[in-house]
Structure 1
């Protein structure tokens, strides 16, 4: 295919790329995209003709940038959006589907294989999936892409990597280096960014052109060279590059010429670094994805590189574009491009220090997970969630490192168990199940770590609706904990067994086990989010058995503890129970306020179970208030979310009553046709849009809506209840929830 031999039609800034919305997750461009006009046009045409296009080329040639730019320009073609899947930090093929699920913005709590989740979500959707950096997972990625394309006929895939996927129907698009004039423009723009006022003149144009030619128009090489203009002139850069070409290009006769050029450009930057900068560069290669300064200071410091000097050395690497700075929700972060990281990893291997650095990396993230678990029960809960999400690639690498050595497998078990708050509280049940199953395959003599992984596995399985998997893990945990006298493991195993009884409608046993667990927690002096959830689950069991007053009192106590400690996640479930009590007392307006707060919290933490429970009850509140049409929409929206949680309402007769009552009221008001139309409308809303609509819903603000009811409210069992005298006490609730 012919490539552009001319610059862009004008040098004005590019039109803005459509912003990231619920329909896409493409990153914002931090500097101007230069050239590649013909390549972008080619990719647009090829994606019209083929469902799989793979951009291939040497590292640093601009595959990712070009693919993302093309996808952004084509976004309007795809009514279900454009999604970018970045795989460079994913090393375990078993996590490939999870990475795609994350990119699609899905949260799946079920025990279904993630492949099933993907296939069900993509079927019937018109979407462009951009897959980047798959080389190290090429076989698994090819198999997954093939399955997705077969099942989802409107799906298109734009892949970017150093080799094709080699699938039937794939169109391979080799991305050549930049044409001369585009390369010159890129070099000049990046040079001006590091040396304000720089421009191409008659004096430096010749040397700049020669520099671009020597670097074969490879964008990464050009950007590294431009970074040197902080200290050197264009002529000096060219002269030094000449030296490095002679020094470094003869390393491998079998390597591709352009690959040699890229390695030369990176190697030249490496040679120009001070010794301590080279050392830090090599050590930074142990990180996956982003990292922060504190982690660098701990992991990478040594007598040769004291911790107090790390910031200055890192600043030097930033100045040379070896390390990139990124501002995120959790503060300033840093990262290296994959090609640059790989180069550093080779140098680290040459020093023989890789194993030591990987263990230090593992130890740091073990400590981070431990502190995050403690901070989860505090006002910093939201920060903990964001931090754990941002560090997930490094946490994965830490578990992988521990599993590589049989004597250290207990550390992987400890880490997988300690991250329960990430798996359960932040909507990552499916990935948590993957790791917990994986780490428990290893037999270890460190019983506390194994026990923790077992009860967390049981907890995850309960929430996924996998009763068999849950009882197996919890029985083993309790049996072994009884044998060894591990009181904490006993308490957690009893608690989660009670939780299993709760969702399988055995309320008598649930109440018995949860009371037992809470007594054990008191004896241990244990107070955390798990203990609060045991109280909330006990309130549900008590309420389901008919004593709504006691249920409300328990949750009011939990609410006070949460407000005192700054806990938000467990609070969302307590608010759900309190809202139900308010609804049964004939106070739907109070129930709405509680439910909207519950829903907002659950959605913030990506907790689909808490979110969908609140939304279903909010639908009933809306119906009781007289807005049957909106209630039908909210029910439809909740029904779309449930498959990602598990069996709707766990198959429970108790949990299903609000839905049944809402449907009865709405059908009675609307008739079957209008009710079903509203449900279909709600089912078209993605979770973000559904939550936004539910939180904004104020029936009294909309014309044509009936006045709110103040009298007796229909209970889920079909009877009516009189309002209670005390809205906070829960008195006057139904005989059965």
Structure 2
């Protein structure tokens, strides 16, 4: 945590280890003992509790403190769903799926998948930031609570969800002392944050009145107190109180009592804005186009331009961090940056006033389009795990770029191309359902570029095939092939033929699959294509050969794939080749031990990349080689809802058991 950063919101927690996990608390909750006890009591009595209040009052902070203290009560765990940056209604359900790490990839509606997953679990779901899509959050909460008796929901927002049975806890500002000589919760919070900024700070007889007056003028609003505390770096508490008073009188026309609390926070953020240099203000406004975290490379591309030279960007970001406008988080891959939502909203308002929102959102989209394109290229190489992690880190911004790309009537092809370029993430990293969402949306847009549309079509066909939606898969692939042949797009035509072979294989038409894989590989050779798709085409052909009894031919194909993978550092296709080699070893009489070694090597790769398709097919075959594997297989296949319907599986647990199981 950056020293002196505001600490009464999401920034008061360390980064999470993964989606849905609760962040670790890194400071003490100040002045909220009564509210915390009340919230815990309501969670005991009610299945839906909503904490409401104005921005900056500490709703998230209180909810997470209560959730952290409740983890032992729920055998299914406590999961956090961050909704403050979700603006696309269908993404609400998908955000919950992501937080729960649900691995179902069928074409069923996400809400049905959620309800089925939660039906027999005792779990607390924290829905944070419901104010932007209240109706959608309310409908989701009502249905899940009806269908999952062990579920409890803790929501935060500026107003209640309005669901029957909801218990609402209005959260007000921190307590203020009724006399200047008495310490209040607001004073305690201000003092703790002040010491974080200036370690020598203390409330003394000389400054006690000024501290108390400042806390009263800020209405005891936690985020406002924290932002004011940052000012101690450059001025005394007396001077801060004086400046705040002047600003309030200006805003309220001299009548302080007329100033509502939402204006209190805006006034303090506005004061921070006034204390920034023109360059800092400009960067603050431009940074508002980011969703969640971002890095300096993205900032330099998106925000550089008129009024902000490239060589000033990094120093300006550092200055905004020093003023707690921007929060810096340290991560293994380097520094990441973010803004609290009220601060981001303030910057977005200024960007709109400057008339620059459209241009900045376009630059933002272009940066993340470039990121997706480079990650697609890098996928064929030794850095696949790093590529997957990079997309994970930037997923919120990629979604925002997709949203903007699909909003634009003038260039729908960019949204189509971006959705298609992320094929490796949708398919290889457990995101089939989300990929289907974006691809369907992209292809519903009229017009665009033939090449971008063809790419989105074959990727949709691939995704739909793995979901078991054969009708949609065949329709998309047939359209892609016709479009590709009409426009002379040889690569798209090859991909369409290849993925039609996948449909045939998943439909158990093995001879047809072998024919299509062979035709696709011939097309790949004609155009000189070599990437993960080509290698998977060989693996598909090898599997079809093995299923028809040609184990020797299957092994020869897969050994070729293994050699290319080792040369280029490709791991994902290698894992599938190892699966076929394991199958051939088992069927060819080499023994369970030899087959298991090959399958476990591939399974470990799939697990590292978070590829549920690969994990499940490997688990199914391993199940026949281990003492307790049949039960694992029965639980494993349903997680690919499209291939075999049913319940869900904790793949991490299944993989761990499979890798440690004895060989018969």
Question: Structure 1, residues 527-571: CA drift from partner, whole Å, max 9, x if none?
Answer: 111111111111111111110111111112111211221211112
Give the Cα–Cα distance (whole angstroms) in 2 for the partners of residues 194 and 230 of structure 1.
Answer: 7
Number of residue equivalences? 645
Deviation at 1:234, TM superposition (A): 1.4
Moved more, 245-254 or 461-470: 245-254
Q: CA deviation at 1:296?
A: 0.4
- Residue 19 to residue 415, structure 1, CA distance change in 2 (3 Å): closer
Which residue in 2 is equivalent to 1:533? 536
Match of 1:146 in 2: 142
Name which of 148, 165, 183 aligns with 1:169.
165
Distance in 2 separating the partners of 1:524 and 1:458: 22
Task: Report the Cα distance in structure 2 between the residues aligned to 1:37 and 1:451, rounded to whole angstroms.
Answer: 58
User: How far does residue 329 in structure 1 lie from its aligned partner after superposition?
Assistant: 4.7
- Structure 1 pair 590–361 and aligned structure 2 pair: CA distance change class (3 A): same
Following TM superposition, the consecutive aligned residue runs of length 4 or more in structure 1 with deviations greater than 6 angstroms are 16-24, 251-256
Shift of 1:471: 0.3
CA 1:316–1:147 in 2, change beyond 3 Å: closer, same or farther? same
Instruction: Give the equivalent residue in structure 2 for 1:669.
Output: none
- Deviations along 1:262-293, one digit per CA (max 9) or x if unpaired, are 11111111111111111110000001111110
Q: Which among 98, 103, 108 is matched to residue 107 of structure 1?
A: 103
Per the TM alignment, residue 313 of structure 1 is displaced from its structure 2 partner at its CA by 0.6
Match of 2:115 among 115, 119, 128: 119
Return closer, same or farther for 1:647/1:276 CA change in 2, 3 Å cut-off.
closer
How many Å apart are 1:619 and its aligned residue? 1.7
1:259 aligns with 2:262: yes
Structure 2 CA distance for aligned equivalents of residues 148 and 63 of structure 1: 23
Which moved further from structure 2: 52-61 or 319-328?
Answer: 319-328
Q: Which of residues 124, 132, 137 in structure 1 aligns to 2:133?
A: 137
- Residue aligning to 1:89: 85
SS of equivalent residue, structure 2 residue 477: helix
In the alignment, is residue 563 of structure 1 matched against residue 559 of structure 2?
A: no
Counterpart secondary structure, 1:444: coil
Q: 2: CA distance between counterparts of 1:557 and 1:284? A: 48
Q: Is the 8 A contact 1:108 1:428 kept in 2?
A: no
The alpha-carbon deviation at position 74 of structure 1 amounts to 1.1
Measured in 1, the distance between the counterparts of 2:305 and 2:505 equals 53
Deviations 1:362-392 (A, max 9, x none): 1111111111100111112111101111111
CA distance in 1, matches of 2:565, 2:132: 45
Shift of 1:23: 12
Deviation at 1:24, TM superposition (A): 6.6
- Which digits, 9 at most, give the CA deviation of each residue in 1:660-682, with x for residues without a partner? xxxxxxxxxxxxxxxxxxxxxxx
Which residue is 1:662 aligned to?
Answer: none
1:304 deviation in Å?
A: 1.0
CA root-mean-square deviation: 2.3
Q: 8 Å contact 2:379–2:424 — kept in the other structure?
A: yes
CA distance in 1, matches of 2:19, 2:488: 52
8 Å CA contact 1:602, 1:611 repeated in 2:
yes
Distance 1:18 1:219 in 2: 19
Cα deviation for residue 325 of structure 1 reads 1.1
> Which residue of structure 2 lines up, in the alignment, with residue 158 of structure 1?
154
Residue in 2 aligned with 1:691?
655
With over 3 angstroms needed to count, the CA separation of the structure-2 counterparts of 1:103 and 1:650, relative to structure 1, is closer
Distance 1:101 1:252, change over 3 A: farther
Offset at residue 698 of structure 1 (A)? 4.2
Instruction: Give, in angstroms, the shift of residue 583 of structure 1.
Output: 2.3
Please report how far the alpha carbon of residue 646 of structure 1 lies from its aligned counterpart in structure 2 after TM superposition.
Answer: 2.2
Q: CA deviation at 1:255?
A: 9.3
Q: Residue in 2 aligned with 1:76?
A: 72
Distance 2:251 2:656 in 1: 57
Report the equivalent of 1:620: 624
Q: TM-score, normalised by structure 1?
A: 0.84
Deviations 1:45-99 (A, max 9, x none): 1111111110000000000010011011011111111111101121100111110
Choose which of 289, 292, 295 in structure 1 pairs with 2:292: 289
Deviations, residues 615-647 of structure 1 (Å, cap 9, x unaligned): 12112111xxxxx3x33xxx3334334223124
The residue aligned with 2:493 is 490
* Rg comparison, structure with higher value: 1
Contact 1:249 1:260 in 2 (8 A): no
Equivalent residue, structure 2, for 1:46? 42
* CA–CA distance in structure 2, aligned partners of residues 332 and 690 of structure 1: 34
- Who is 1:646 aligned against? 641
Check the 8 A contact 1:478/1:490 in 2, yes or no.
yes
CA 1:330–1:23 in 2, change beyond 3 Å: closer, same or farther? closer
Indicate whether 1:342 and 2:337 are aligned.
no
SS in 2 for 1:406: coil
SS at match of 1:621: coil
Q: Summarize the Cα distance change of 1:602–1:226 in structure 2 as closer, same or farther, 3 Å threshold.
A: same
1:248 and 1:23 map into 2 onto residues whose CA distance is 41
The normalised TM-score by structure 2 is: 0.93
2-structure distance, mates of 1:163, 1:650? 39
For structure 2, which runs of at least 5 residues remain unmatched after alignment? 1-11, 177-183
Residues 1:422 and 2:425 are matched in the alignment: yes
- Contact 2:128-2:156 at 8 Å conserved across structures: yes
The match for 1:457 among 447, 457, 460 is: 460
Q: 1:371 maps to which residue?
A: 374
Contact 1:85–1:132, Cα closer than 8 Å, also in 2? yes
Range with bigger deviation, 59-68 or 587-596 = 587-596
User: Partners of 1:285 and 1:410 in 2: how far apart?
Assistant: 25
Rate the CA distance shift 1:325–1:48 in 2: closer, same or farther, 3 A: same
Give 1:211-360 correspondences, 5 Å limit: 211-249=214-252, 257-360=260-363
Hey, what does 2:181 align to over in structure 1? none
2-structure distance, mates of 1:687, 1:45? 35
Task: Specify the alignment match of 2:553 in structure 1.
Answer: 550
